[in-house]
Amino acid sequence: MQDHISRRLALKHFGLIAAGLAAACTPARVLVNAYPQTFDDDPELVDRVLRAFVTTVIPGAAADDPDLVRALTDPDYPFAQFAAFFAADLTRRGERRFGEPAFERLTPDQRAAVIRDGLEADATTRKMYNGAVTLAQVAFYAGIYDAQRGCALIGFEGGYHWHPLSEITYPDPALFLAAALTPDGNAA
Amino acid sequence: MKTIQTDVLVIGTGFGAAAPALRLAQAGAKVVMIEKGPRVQTADFRQTSDPKYVLKYLKGTPGDNLKLTYAEALGGGSGFYEMISLRAPSLAFEQLDDDGRLLWPADVDRRSLDPYYDLAERMLHVSQIPVEEIPKTGLVFAHLMRNLGYSVDRCRYAVRGCQGSGFCVTGCVYGAKQSLFLNYLPQAVSAGAEIETDLEALAIEPLPARWRVGAPLRDVPYRYRVTARRRTGERELVAFVARVVILGGGTVGTAKLLLASRPYLPKLSEHVGRHIAYNGSVKVAALLPDGVPDADMFTGRTHPGMVSYQFLGSHGITVHAVKAMPLMLVSAAHLRLRDEPQAAFWGAPNVELMKQLRHRMIILDAFGLTPPGAALQVRAGDARVALPITAQLRVYHAETKRILESILVRNGCRLVETDFLDKTFMPRQGIQFSTAHQVGSCRMADAKEHGVVDASGAVFDYPGLYVSDGSAIPSSLAVNTSLTILANAERIAAGLIERYRLPLPGGSQAQAA
């Protein structure tokens, strides 16, 4: 697990983003007040919550995949600085809505409802949830941490898999082709 | 500060820079090329979806309604392009501006460029894709067009021995794609040129000098000093003093450099950074109906082999299918089926859609002769591009989208909504274009009141300073731009050899003529 930045720094970053958004945003302080210290102190708690989040966003993704939530906490990507806050926000919303203090113990439908809440909340929160969903999808479908692995769920093999020509094309291309306008592929 | 003297300094190593460097070196001039990006070769490339690898080489210029992508590495974009090498149609050279004036200089058109296209094609081994190598997605695209009675042509590529890995855009690990570091650049080095990478040009200053008009290169004094800085290590400054300076750093790089140099070059045209054209790419996605064979988004060359000129004459667009790796697709757009508007861009409905991506999704893309309406703005060294969305552009976008959707719907496809994303992954509102085909920020024109350089690439009012890259191309082309940039650079190189009375190198303008 990567080194977590300090809570103070996370709040500062979050505040900077919030400051740049529309005045209609819920004040960052309201959200920030619901950020328990335990999410900075317990990386395993954050990992559990984020795994429950990603498997809700991508049903069918293996919950025990070692790379499943890596992008969300990878210090090379900006989201990492919000990971603990984000996990706390998922937890807070889940408890408020369903009375369950552990996000990962919610049913898949309940978790999806929590994520929808975040995606429909104020502009700052929407941006954070939207970024988390998309980053999780990019990392999972593209297989960004293992060049050769790809993503079996969508049939993406990743790199370094050679295919014979017979697998790349069809044996009877003339059946597909339309009339050509040019003799050599260049328009006049 | 270390100072290096040379006859010719070429800034950049991409399509616009490589030809003048090679031809002038072959003609006996002392040539130095400087490249901002790192030195790369085939062995450096990886078939990976790791964004850190991709972003090491591919850079973006953000902006309002338009996003530009370009490469920073030896060979410029040639390491990462889809190797499509098409000549611009004659129609592209006949475009007019709002005042009814030809965008291209009077002497430059398809006919005058054809000999240089020939030369560039020979250098890059360009040929039409054989029928038996067309990837499945290209065949399915052709099938959809044929169903409607439309034409489709086999595309042309700069490749030898394509392995069909599908990773053209991360660099060809087989050395099959004809990147410039496989042909022009090593030949330039063999002819005596020197290439320095990791070196960013910062400013161009004219030197006090007098010379006789029409003098041969050996009699021309050193006329420009270019200050550059290493991008790694001690970041030391290096000065180059040259008789001739050729700017080939691309549409963004060349304009940025000239704008940064304006304090030293006060007579520069006011058009620097303006009039950027971008091939107005419009994309539409859909799921194939039952009965249509599978496409394949992930195998075969990245560009799927076919292009349609069906709507070129009527609408100024070419149409082709697109293959996209998951990294590029998912980071660029949220996908939803149009007939399921309540479905989220995540969760089970999205997974089901993604499962169909490889074999059942088709993406059509149109390139159009959109006017050169974008402008570069540079503040504190950071560039942004601004494109006002005019009424004309709205009509173009709507009509082009309608044509693409019509092709798909009339074939029974289910349309997929693509909500394009900004760099924070938030959906962008309104019309958004993105491209790697930006040209025109220092465009050629018949007079300084309309452009930055003349038809020979010479910067107005600054003898010995030339622009030979995409920034000199004054219009959209409706096809990929690399071959036209290269052909125009060959033409400019031939003019330089004639102008500076250098001996004809074998195989350059002699062949072109």
Q: CB-based contact (8 Å) between A23 and chain B?
A: no
Contact across the interface for A147 and B90, Cβ inside 8 Å: no
Backbone φ and ψ for B431, nearest 5 degrees, come out as: -80, 130
3-state secondary structure of B361: strand
Interstrand relation of B382-386 and B63-64 (parallel, antiparallel or unpaired): parallel
Assess whether pLDDT exceeds 90 at residue A28. no
Q: A157-180: per-residue pLDDT in tens?
A: 999 999 999 999 999 999 999 999
Tokens of B86: 């098409």
Q: What does the pLDDT read at residue B504? A: 77
Span B185-203, average pLDDT: 98
On chain B, the residues whose CB falls within 8 A of the CB of A116 are: 344
- Per the listing, tokens 């552990």 go with A102
pLDDT per position as a tens digit, B320-338: 999 999 999 999 999 999 9
What's the pLDDT at B341? 85
Phi, psi of A52 (to 5 degrees): -65, -35
Classify strands B375-379 and B382-386 as parallel, antiparallel or unpaired.
Answer: antiparallel
Interface test with B, best of A53, A57, A77, A141 (most B CBs within 10 A): A141
**Residues B205-217: tens digit of each pLDDT:** 999 989 898 999 9
Which residues of chain B lie closer than 8 angstroms to A147, CB-CB? 46-50
The nearest alpha carbon in chain B to A160 belongs to: B47
Assign 3-class secondary structure to B30-76. Answer: CEEEECCCCCCCHHHCCCCCCHHHHHHHEEEECEECEEEEEECCCCH
Residue B381 banded pLDDT, cuts 50, 70, 90 = confident
Residue of B nearest to A116 (CA): B344
Tokens of B19: 């030809």
Are A76 and B133 in contact (CB < 8 Å)? no
Quote the CA–CA distance of B225 and A32 in Å, as a whole number.
Answer: 54
Q: Under 8 Å CB-to-CB from B463, ≥6 apart: which residues?
A: B223
Span B111-125, pLDDT tens digits: 999 999 999 999 999
Average per-residue pLDDT for chain A: 86
**The predicted structure's pLDDT at residue B82:** 96
Chain B, residues 231-290, CB within 8 A of chain A, namely none
- DSSP E strands in B237-360: the ranges are 237-247, 282-287, 306-307, 317-322, 333-337
B58 is written with which tokens? Answer: 């591919």
Kindly determine whether residue B346 and residue A156, on different chains, have CB atoms separated by under 8 Å: no
**In this complex, is the C-beta atom of B348 within 8 Å of any C-beta atom belonging to chain A?**
yes
Average the pLDDT over A60-70 and give the result.
Answer: 96
Q: Give the per-residue pLDDT at B194.
A: 98
In which region does residue A88 sit, left (phi positive, over 0), alpha (psi from -120 to 50) or beta (all else)? alpha
Tell me what pLDDT residue B235 has: 95
Q: What is the pLDDT of residues B80-105, one digit of tens each?
A: 999 999 999 999 999 999 999 999 99
Mean pLDDT for the stretch of residues A62-77? 96
Neighbours of B454 (CB within 10 A): 19
pLDDT band at residue B422 under the 50/70/90 scheme = confident
B482 and B85 in contact (C-beta within 8 Å)?
yes
Distance from CA of B216 to the nearest CA of A (A): 38
Q: What are phi and psi of B373, to 5 degrees?
A: -105, 0
Inter-chain contact A151–B350, Cβ cutoff 8 Å?
no
How big is the A-B interface in CB pairs under 8 Å?
A: 182
B273 pLDDT above the threshold of 50:
yes
Interface membership of A22 toward B (CB under 8 Å)? no
Which residue in A131, A178, A186 is closest to B151 by CB distance?
A178
What angle is formed at CA A171 by the lines to CA A169 and CA A175, rounded to 5 degrees? 95
A76-132: per-residue pLDDT in tens? 999 999 999 999 999 999 999 999 999 999 999 999 999 999 999 999 999 999 999
Residues A133-139: what's their mean pLDDT?
97
Task: Give the model's pLDDT for residue A9.
Answer: 45
pLDDT band of residue A19 (cuts 50, 70, 90) is very low
DSSP string of B114-141?
Answer: HHHHHHHHHHHTEEEPPGGG--HHHHHH
Q: Is the model's pLDDT at A29 over the cut of 70?
A: no
Partner-chain contact A168 B300, CB within 8 Å:
yes
- 79-108 in B: which are within 8 Å (CB) of A? 86-87, 89-91
Chain A nearest-CA distance from B147, in A, is 8
Please state whether beta strands B194-196 and B382-386 pair in parallel, antiparallel, or not at all (unpaired).
Answer: unpaired
* Residue A35 confidence class, pLDDT cut points 50, 70, 90: confident
pLDDT of B506 strictly over 80? no
User: If you average pLDDT over residues B473-499, what whole number do you get?
Assistant: 98
Q: Which residue in B52, B86, B163 is closest to A185 by CB distance?
A: B86
pLDDT band at B428 (very low <50, low <70, confident <90, very high): confident
**Nearest 10 degrees: Cα torsion A45, A49, A52, A54:** -120
**Residue A129: which residues within 8 A CB-CB, separation 6 or more?**
A86, A115, A118, A119, A121
Mutate to test the interface with B, among A86, A134, A161 (most CBs of B within 10 A): A134
pLDDT of residue B494: 97
Q: B472 and B444 in contact (C-beta within 8 Å)?
A: yes
| Average pLDDT along chain B | 96
Tell me the one-letter amino acid at A5. Answer: I
User: Which residue of B299, B310, B346 is in closest CB contact with A57?
Assistant: B346
Q: Which residues sit opposite B467 in a β-bridge?
A: B247
- How many residues would you count in chain B? 513
pLDDT reading at B196 higher than 60: yes
User: Is pLDDT of B466 > 80?
Assistant: yes
- Say whether B153 and A127 touch across the interface (CB within 8 A): no
What amino acid is encoded at B218 in this protein?
Answer: R
C-alpha of B317 from chain center: 17
User: Of all residues in chain B, what percent carry a pLDDT higher than 70?
Assistant: 98
| pLDDT higher than threshold 50 for residue A24 | no
Judged by CB atoms closer than 8 Å, whether chains meet at B142 and A134 is answered as no
Provide CB contacts within 8 A for B487, sequence distance 6+: B87, B113, B116, B117, B119, B120
- Please tell me the predicted confidence (pLDDT) of residue A99: 98
Mean pLDDT of A61-87: 95
Q: Which amino acid is at B487?
A: A
Instruction: Name the phi and psi angles at B275, rounded to 5.
Output: 60, 40
Q: Which of residues 86-145 of A touch B (CB under 8 A)?
A: 112, 115-116, 119, 126-127, 130-131, 133-135, 137-138, 141-145
- pLDDT value at residue B172: 97
Residues in B touching A157 (Cβ below 8 Å):
298
The arithmetic mean of pLDDT across residues B430-452, rounded, is: 96
Is the predicted pLDDT of residue A23 greater than 70, yes or no?
Answer: no
d(CA B504, CA B181): 23
Cβ atoms of A154 and B326 within 8 Å: the answer is yes
Select the more confidently predicted residue: A129 or A29. A129
Return the SS3 of A145. coil
* Antiparallel, parallel or unpaired: β B66-71 and B433-435: parallel
